[in-house]
Every structure is written in structure tokens, then in C-alpha cells.
Structure 1
Amino acid sequence: MRDIENELRAAGEMSDAELDIAQLALALSACDRPDLSRDLYRAHLNELVEAAAAALGTSRAAPCQVAAGVLSGVMAGRFRYLGDAETYDDPRNANLAHVIDRRKGLPVTLGILYLHVASKLGLEMTGLNFPGHFVLRLRGPDEAVVLDPFNGGQTLTSADLLAMLRGVEGPDARLTPENCEAVGTRDILLRLENNILSRAIRAGDFARARDVVTRMIWFAPGRAGLRFELGRLEVHAGHMGAAADAFATCIDLATGLGEMRIAGMAEEALRRLKTRLN
């Protein structure tokens, strides 16, 4: 675990462009499976890239629809990567190693595999800031298409996206530019871990939730909201000194980033905590 912690902490010091999304997702998998042999999974990641490269051939400069079809054919067709609609909340769906073992997972976990392959082949693919269901955008020389890794890499129209959004936010929801903004590698990994975190909190497993937030902080040390969440979990565990440190760090980070709402929440939490300690 010490080596994994060091690896994730090192990623926390890197720029987003330097991060290897699949390798870091495997490191996060190993947090829950310390005996994991990551070499086997790295070999499979290479196999995916080689298969996609052979299938694409000269199609890398072809229209987006062609490249998207080839990618989905390799990922969902040949290797059978599909969404786990039957046991969606199975915690294994948010663990990349388990997803590779089972060939099914959450949209974001499957999306990480697509992003890994695309990046190695020089394709311009990004994850989008779409709520409730992670989707991907592939850009080509002529256009861009949106893919759903959960449903076999099928392409999505604006009407499809609107229907999905209304399924999450209600019938009055409207597509906005923010819904289709590209998100970076760090944010995608945080989205992955948030799936684990939310399930732990819903199950009342606050010790696990604290462990998950801690490793999120390792690779995203500048996110003030994570420090606030850690402070709350430390209070729940009875670690009042650690909670005070987390809230104080949150205040400093949030203030420096201009996130005054979070800073105010941390200040109030710290004030209440000091009242309890006195």
C-alpha cells in the first residue's frame, strides 16, 4: 500500500496532461485489492490497443463515425465490454481490474478503457461533464460524435443526450454547453472514486468512505471539497484533531481558489468543532 500511496501522491503533483488514466485507475483498483498483479492487466490494456490499431488501420483519419464504429466493434464486439445493467450498484463495477475480469462495469470505468485505447492511437477523445451517465466525445477532421461506452459505444444524438439528461434531472431539463464540456483525467478519476464513496456512505460504511476520500486527496490534493468531506468523516470517526486539520486545510485551499462557499462551510464546521472541544 505504501507504493500505491506514493504512486498516487506523485500523480497529485503532475499536470493533467501527464496523467495516464488507465494506469492510475489500476492503482486505485489495487487500493482495494493489495495482492493485485497489475502486470496482467497492463498486458490486457496493450492487447486492446493492438487490436484497435489493427482494426483501424488507415481509418484514423477517416470520418468520426467510421472510427467510432471500429472502436466500438473492438471494445464491445470483440472484447465484449458492456455496461452492467443488471447489477449496476455492484462495487466491482467501479474497480477497473474487476471490470477487465468481468467485461462489464459502470459508464465511467468502461469509458476509461475507451480513453486509454484512443489516446494510444492518437485519437482525440475526451470525457464529458454530463450528469448521471458518463459519455465520451470523439473528434475527427470533419466532425465530432458522442459515444456511450455503457451501451456498446453507440453514438448519441442531441436528442439522445436530452432524453438521458431528463431521466436524471427531470422533464424540464435542458442541454447546456456545460453538460458537453470536456473534463480532464483527474476529474474522471474523481468521478470514478465518487461512485465508490457514495455507495460506502449510503451503506453507512464511514471507515471505507474515509479511506476512499483519503486516496482521492492523494491524487487531487488541491480540491478543497475533498478536505471538507474528510473533515466530516474524521468527526464521525471521533478523530477531532484530524478533523480540525482537515477543515483548516479546506479553508486555506478554498480561499486561495476563490471558492468562498466551501471556505465558509469549513469555517462554520471548524467553529462548531472547537465549541465541542471546549
Structure 2
Amino acid sequence: MTRDDAEAVLTEAGQAEDGGFPLLEAAIACAIHDYPFRDPEPVRVLARNAGERLAERIGGEGPDEALAETMAADLRLNGDLLNYDHPGNTDVIDVAERRRGLSATLSVFYLDAARRAGIKAQGVDFPGHFLLRVETPDGPVALDPFSQGRLVLPSELTRRALRAGLTPHVADRLDVLMAPVSDRQALIRLQNVLFTRALRAGDYEGAERSALRRALLDPDDHRPWLDVASAREKQGALAGALEALSRARTLDDPGETQRRMSMDRVRLQLN
């Protein structure tokens, strides 16, 4: 698969309704978009095995226990504590090989397995650390894919929220802390991680690619195009930056003034 092929897959995924969003294939396309011409089949094989093993466990265990045991114990998918900043931790193809990754990347496999086995699970865009919400007969629980899928108690959620800077009256509200997000937003969260890392490293081409993926995955959001424009501007690609700003301008939102100012700044550099 080439980079253009990956963009075609992401464009199609961006047009899908949330209920039919192709999480696994879109995640594969994101990985190929960064580093083309790799074999994605091991990702699909791992996902199929995860779904089959999880289906076998259902009934003998609660859905949260079955999911954690399948993914962390049977398939050895866990967080990379020793090499947290390893670039492969954000890439589903590398994670399928190494069985280590960030929480947001591991969640792709957790969520896909849950869908295959009929378990209701969704991502939770928790501050600083992506979690999973799994529906059980006793109510929703939070799992941490980075820590062997272990259960995160409400008191720990509150402590984590306070450490992340949330105010006490927000940190005590479990309905806010465990608010689910769509599979689309779960994958976009991962692209945000990549964008931040690329900017920190001065990799503006990588930042542009991750922002472009966000734009394709959520075509109604103007913000990714602003990030595309910023990354292109830092590379000196002013015409491309102006094109991205124009794309953002076509989306109706309250950020019109900011976009106009950005376009004027780039135009001044072109003149």
C-alpha cells in the first residue's frame, strides 16, 4: 500500500458514520501513511485471533475480565514502560510485532476485539492517558490497556484527574471522567499524540502527515487543516500552507478570524 492508497482509505473512513467506522483498517492506513510499503497482514491476523479468543472466554468471565485476560495475558499486548517514547509504540503494525505500545494504540486492538466478540466497549479520552470503558452487568468500568488491561477504580480515576490538572468538582464526576468517545475520536487521539511528538522533535513533515490524517478522518473539523498549514509553513511550503488555510476557511465555525489572520500572515511571506 502506498501513501496515496492510505489517504484513499482514510478519506473513505472519514465519510463513514460513527457506527460503521472501520477502526482497524483506518489504523492500518494511518501506519502505512507514515511509513508506506509495509505488510499489514500481521495486524489483521492478530485482530482475528483476539476476537476468536475473546469469544471463547465470554460466559466464563465478566466482559471486562475476559477482555483484559485475552489481550494482556493471552496475546501479551501491554504498555512499553521501558521505551515509552519509542516511535513504534504509536504504530499498529509495529505494535502487532512487538506487542508493546501506548495506551491509545493498544486500544485499537482492544476495541476491535470487543466489537468482534459482541462486548460493548468504547474509548475514554482521559487527560494524559487513554482508557477504555467496558459495559458490565454491574455498570461501566474503566480499563487501562497500558497496564495489562487492569481495572481502574473510581478513586484512582479521581486521583489521576487531579494530577492532570482538573478541578476537584470535575475530578469527582465519574460521568465526565468516563464519558465515551467514538472509534473515530479514539484514532484521532492517537494522531494528536503523533502530531505533538513530531513538533517536539522538529519533524514538521511528520507533523503535517499526522494533521492531514486527522483532517481526512474528520472532514467537518477545521482545526486539523490549521495544523497542516502550520506544519507546512514551518517547512517553507507557503503555497501549501495557504491551500490548507483555504480548506479550513470553507468550514463554518467561530475560528474564522483566526484563519483570516493566518492566511494574511502566509500571504505576506509569499509577496
- In the superposition, the TM-score normalised over structure 2's length comes to 0.91
2:12 match: 10
One-letter code aligned to 1:263? E
Q: Distance in 1 between matches of 2:84 and 2:139?
A: 32
Match in the other structure for 2:224: 226
Identity of aligned residues (%): 27
Match of 1:277 in 2: 270
What CA distance in whole angstroms lies between the structure 1 residues aligned with 2:32 and 2:169?
38
Which stretch has the larger CA shift, 138-147 or 170-179?
170-179
Check 1:82–1:270 CA distance in 2 against 1; reply closer, same or farther (3 A cut): same
Cα distance change on mapping 1:89 and 1:171 into 2, 3 Å = farther
Q: Verify: 1:206 aligned to 2:199, yes or no.
A: no
CA distance in 2 between counterparts of 1:99 and 1:8 reads 20
Partner SS, residue 169 of structure 1? coil
Native 8 Å contact 2:34 2:206 kept in 1: no
Deviations 1:38-77 (A, max 9, x none): 2232122111111111122x35xx7xxx221122111111
Checking the alignment, whether the CA contact within 8 Å between 2:225 and 2:248 is kept in structure 1 is yes
CA contact (8 A) 2:32 2:38 kept: yes
Q: Give the C-alpha shift of residue 246 in structure 1.
A: 1.6
Distance in 1 between the 2:186 and 2:52 partners? 24
SS of 1:139 mapped into structure 2? strand
Q: CA deviation at 1:148?
A: 0.8
Name 1:113's counterpart in structure 2. 109
Residues 1:143 and 1:25: Cα distance change in structure 2 (over 3 Å): same
> Counterpart in 2 of 1:247?
245
Q: CA deviation at 1:24?
A: 1.4
Gaps of 5+ in 2: none
Matching residue's letter, 2:193? N
* Gapped regions of structure 1 (runs ≥ 5): none
Cα deviation, 1:118-167, whole Å, max 9, x if unaligned, reads 11111111111211111111113441111111111111121111111223
8 Å CA contact retained: 1:129, 1:178: no
Structure 2 partner of 1:129: 125
1:30 paired residue number: 32
**Paired residues of 1:251 and 1:264 also in contact (CA < 8 A):** no
